[in-house]
Amino acid sequence: MEQYEPDSLSPAQLAAMRRSLSNGRAALSRRSLLRASTGGALAVGGFGTLSACGIPAASQGQGGVSSEDHSAKEKVINFSNWTEYIDLSADEKHRPTLDAFTKRTGIRVNYTEDVNDNVEFFGKIKPQLAAGQDTGRDVMVLTDWLAARLIRFGWVQKLDPANLPHAYANLSSQFRSPDWDPGRAYSYPWQGIAVVIAYNTKATNGREITSVSQLLDDPKLKGRVGLLSEMRDTVGMVMLDMGKDPGTFTADDFDAAIARMQKAVDKKQIRRFTGNDYISDLSKGDLAACLAWSGDIVQLQVDNPDVKFHIPDSGYLAGTDVMLIPNKARHKTNAEKLIDYYYEPPVAAQLAAWINYVSPVEGVKAELAKIDKKIANDPLIVPDKAMSAKAHLFRSLSSKEDKAFEEKFAQLTGA
């Protein structure tokens, strides 16, 4: 568009004409917009370029890829963890266990709370790991099922048992040999998680909620029940309620559990499938009862005594968040020292007393008792015999099963 301004026009006329440029037909019109979008479509339509792309196979064979270990020269560890998943000092400025580690070994820890969600974090680190590059992380904490996937893809490194004497000796038997990492060659638990039933007595009018059946069927809870958006946690709890073992179930068992929940969804029993955001809903009473993660509930009870939890007689699903060393990590030995450090009972006790999840460390109870008797006797933090007997693990899935099951679960949750 070329515009000319004849000299013969008066200033007022000129002004009017300039205005028309920004306001009239010359301005962004529907034609120019349509023209532009067609152009864009044509550019995209270069079919040749389309087939040039493609996503290479993720799998690099089990075993992991190491790179030169800079541990001796660079006294550093880059540690990625979930938010609020480590002990803090009273002024919330220091992390006592990490500070003590640095003091003892001289290794500085760059601690980053950048894990908010397993699937999102996987999306974030996938490009580097798939391309065989360093993620900039030496140790990261992820939930067991995602750890299993990373091990299957060969994206994490085998740990050196020589650097892990405490971890080897003190790992509690419950966590020793998951089917996705027998003998703990690649991973060590940071904390254990128990999936429990939580309820707000104010919202249930003082009634106790004691089974998953009650969550799915009790008409008094209609529209005020929350289930977890983590497929394994929710489906596992429903399977247990139906008398199936999530450690050995078949595809039919899975479908039966989905069908059972679908009924509850159809009659509007279920309010939402939630992540961590169930905490505020339960506290306000918008959710009367829900499936919940044990550590959250222990912490929530401090603020809100109306919140109670129950371990169903049918058992509960036990999960773990595990520490992993990704491929090409620059400071593997340092990272192993850190993993081992958290398996010393006094350190584990300090951590457990603060974050209130299930401690995976044998011998933590005696140390915890020195800090806080109440916590030491809480079965949600140090599982007693009865509690351990009720624990069930979700079996590992092949990638085909993983996709099919996640798809069915997504249909259930609305998409």
Partner 1 sequence: MTTTVTEEPAAPPVAKTARPPRKRGRLVPYWLLLPGLLWLVVFFALPMVYQASTSIQTGSLEDGFKVTWHFATYWQALADYWPQFLRSVLYAGAATILCLALGYPLAYLIAFRAGRWRNLVLILVIAPFFTSFLIRTLAWKTILSDGGPVVSALNALHVLDVTSWLGMTDGNRVLATPLAVICGLTYNFLPFMILPLYTSLERIDGRLHEAAGDLYATPATTFRKVTFPLSMPGVVSGTLLTFIPAAGDYVNADLLGSTDTRMVGNVIQTQFLRILDYPTAAALSFILMAAILIMVTVYIRRSGTEDLV
- CB atoms near residue 33 (< 10 Å): 10
What is the rounded CA–CA span in Å between residue 363 and residue 347? 11
- Residue number with CB closer to partner 1 (42 or 389): 42
- Residue number with CB closer to partner 1 (182 or 219): 219
Task: Find the shortest distance in angstroms from Cβ 225 to partner 1.
Answer: 11
Q: Is 250 exposed, middle or buried (0-12, 13-18, 19+ CB in 10 A)?
A: exposed
Task: Find the shortest distance in angstroms from Cβ 285 to partner 1.
Answer: 6
Task: Find the shortest distance in angstroms from Cβ 257 to partner 1.
Answer: 16
What residue type is assigned to position 112 of the chain? Answer: T
What is the rounded CA–CA span in Å between residue 348 and residue 34? 63
- Residue number with CB closer to partner 1 (281 or 344): 281
Place of tokens 């139906």: 242
Task: Find the shortest distance in angstroms from Cβ 172 to partner 1.
Answer: 31
Task: Find the shortest distance in angstroms from Cβ 101 to partner 1.
Answer: 33
- Residue number with CB closer to partner 1 (23 or 248): 23
- Residue number with CB closer to partner 1 (40 or 165): 40
How many residues can be counted in the chain?
415
Task: Find the shortest distance in angstroms from Cβ 263 to partner 1.
Answer: 13
Element (H, E) at 238: helix 231-241
Give the pair of three-digit tokens for residue 371.
């800090």
- Residue number with CB closer to partner 1 (26 or 169): 26
Task: Find the shortest distance in angstroms from Cβ 15 to partner 1.
Answer: 13
What is the rounded CA–CA span in Å between residue 157 and residue 106? 24
Summarize as ranges the residues that interact with partner 1 (CB under 8 A).
Answer: 1-6, 21, 23-34, 37, 40, 43-44, 46, 49-59, 119-120, 122-123, 152-153, 222-224, 231, 265, 268, 270-273, 277, 280-281, 284-286, 399-400, 403, 406-407, 410, 412-415
Q: What burial letters (b/e) apply to 192-218, b meaning 16+ CB within 10 Å? A: bbbbbbbbbbebbeeeebebbebbbbb
What is the rounded CA–CA span in Å between residue 164 and residue 53? 43
What is the rounded CA–CA span in Å between residue 216 and residue 251? 21
- Residue number with CB closer to partner 1 (135 or 163): 135
- Residue number with CB closer to partner 1 (49 or 112): 49
Contacts of 62 (CB under 8 A, 6+ apart): 151, 152, 154
Q: Is the dihedral of CA 293, 221, 386, 179 positive or negative?
A: negative
Q: Which region, left, alpha or beta, applies to residue 58 given φ > 0 means left and ψ of -120 to 50 means alpha?
A: alpha
Task: Find the shortest distance in angstroms from Cβ 344 to partner 1.
Answer: 36
